[in-house]
């Protein structure tokens, strides 16, 4: 489909801009106490928008560093995060990506996540599977939480009780094999899709963080559990994803903390659970 090809091209071109700034100085400003944006985000976004508007000048674009809308009413809509993992990028930590999704009539039709450092293109088209570069990918087959490598992230508003991830992190750290936190929700969902991570959860997400990644993960066989009912521009702000069997166990542990955030099971018996 043409939209998928445009998304891939735009992601690659934005990736070139991002890489050209690696190891160099650039302007950084704060959108919030711990929420950074750089001139590189803005340049990469202009590049993506230019590619989209050249091919589809009438389409609506929802982008992190530009016009934003909470209404999911546009017939054709692109959702763009030009640099997911800005804090990582600003500190020279090589975990960041370009994320682009395209919707039509409220359905995500294709999604692309491009890691310019590793030159890995994760992509999917609705009902046609998920791919890493040219290889089709699937979620892991792990069914035991204690053998699972999980990944999560923390929201920018650390003081909001509705998005406080610390009780979940503490609880699942003792339930899983290990839990990682690497600062890019887009890459996290893509890594679940290809089996590098067994499961992912997070709170306080925005549409541009997850629009592409959710389609890629679903097309790879992942299922989603909405932890909260809140939505941002048509996408859940708090959820967990994993393969169907693991998700049932994963969901149960999340629900324990949702009911009682003070519940912590550090007993020796937790070593052998699930």
The answer to whether 213 and 220 are in contact (CB under 8 A) is no
- Give the CATH number, domain containing residue 12: 3.30.540.10
Q: Does residue 131 sit in the same domain as residue 153? A: no
pLDDT digits (tens, 9 = 90+) for 86-128: 999 989 999 999 999 999 999 999 999 999 999 999 999 999 9
Mean pLDDT (whole number) for 23-37: 68
Check whether 140 has a pLDDT greater than 60.
yes
Return the pLDDT at 72. 47
Q: How confident is the model at residue 268 (pLDDT cuts 50, 70, 90)?
A: very low
Q: Does residue 128 sit in the same domain as residue 206? A: no
Q: What is the pTM of this model?
A: 0.91
Q: Does residue 28 sit in the same domain as residue 69? A: yes
Alpha-helix runs per DSSP H in the chain: 2-20, 39-55, 86-90, 166-175, 185-193, 207-219, 244-259
Q: Does residue 20 sit in the same domain as residue 113? A: yes
Supply the angle between the helices 207-219 and 185-193 in degrees, to the nearest 10. Answer: 0
Return the pLDDT at 274. 53
Q: Does residue 133 sit in the same domain as residue 153? A: no
Residue where a domain terminates, one of 90, 119, 137: 137
Q: Does residue 79 sit in the same domain as residue 166? A: no
- Give the CATH number, domain containing residue 185: 3.40.190.80
Domain extent at residue 209? 145-272
Q: Which of 7, 201, 218 is nearest to 97 (CA)?
A: 7
Q: Does residue 173 sit in the same domain as residue 94? A: no
Check whether 82 has a pLDDT greater than 70.
yes
Q: Does residue 56 sit in the same domain as residue 179? A: no
Average pLDDT of the residues of the chain? 90
Domain count, the chain: 2
Check whether 79 has a pLDDT greater than 90.
yes
Check whether 145 has a pLDDT greater than 90.
yes
pLDDT digits (tens, 9 = 90+) for 40-56: 889 999 999 999 999 99
Q: Does residue 108 sit in the same domain as residue 61? A: yes
Percent of the chain past pLDDT 90, that is, above it, reads 76
Residue where a domain terminates, one of 137, 171, 198: 137
Q: Which of 75, 82, 79, 80 is nearest to 58 (CA)?
A: 75
């Amino acid at each position: 489909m043409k939209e998928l090809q445009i998304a891939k091209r735009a992601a690659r071109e934005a990736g070139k801009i991002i890489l050209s700034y690696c190891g160099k100085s650039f302007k950084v400003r704060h959108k919030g106490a711990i929420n950074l944006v750089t001139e590189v985000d803005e340049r990469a976004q202009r590049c993506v928008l230019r590619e989209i508007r050249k091919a589809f000048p009438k389409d609506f674009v929802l982008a992190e560093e530009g016009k934003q809308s909470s209404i999911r009413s546009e017939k054709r809509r692109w959702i763009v995060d030009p640099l997911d993992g800005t804090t990582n990028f600003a500190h020279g930590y090589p975990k960041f990506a370009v994320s682009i999704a395209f919707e039509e009539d409220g359905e995500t039709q294709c999604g692309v996540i491009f890691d310019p450092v590793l030159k890995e293109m994760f992509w999917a088209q609705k009902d046609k599977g998920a791919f890493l570069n040219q290889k089709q990918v699937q979620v892991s087959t792990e069914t035991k939480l204690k053998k699972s490598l999980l990944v999560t992230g923390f929201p920018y508003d650390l003081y909001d009780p509705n998005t406080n991830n610390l009780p979940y992190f503490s609880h699942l750290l003792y339930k899983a094999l290990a839990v990682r936190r690497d600062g890019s929700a887009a890459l996290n969902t893509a890594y679940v899709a290809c089996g590098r991570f067994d499961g992912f959860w997070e709170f306080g997400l925005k549409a541009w963080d997850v629009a592409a990644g959710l389609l890629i993960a679903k097309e790879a066989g992942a299922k989603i559990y909405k932890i909260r009912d809140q939505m941002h521009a048509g996408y859940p702000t708090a959820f967990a994803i994993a393969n169907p069997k693991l998700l049932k166990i994963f969901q149960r542990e999340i629900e324990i903390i949702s009911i009682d955030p003070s519940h912590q099971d550090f007993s020796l018996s937790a070593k052998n659970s699930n």
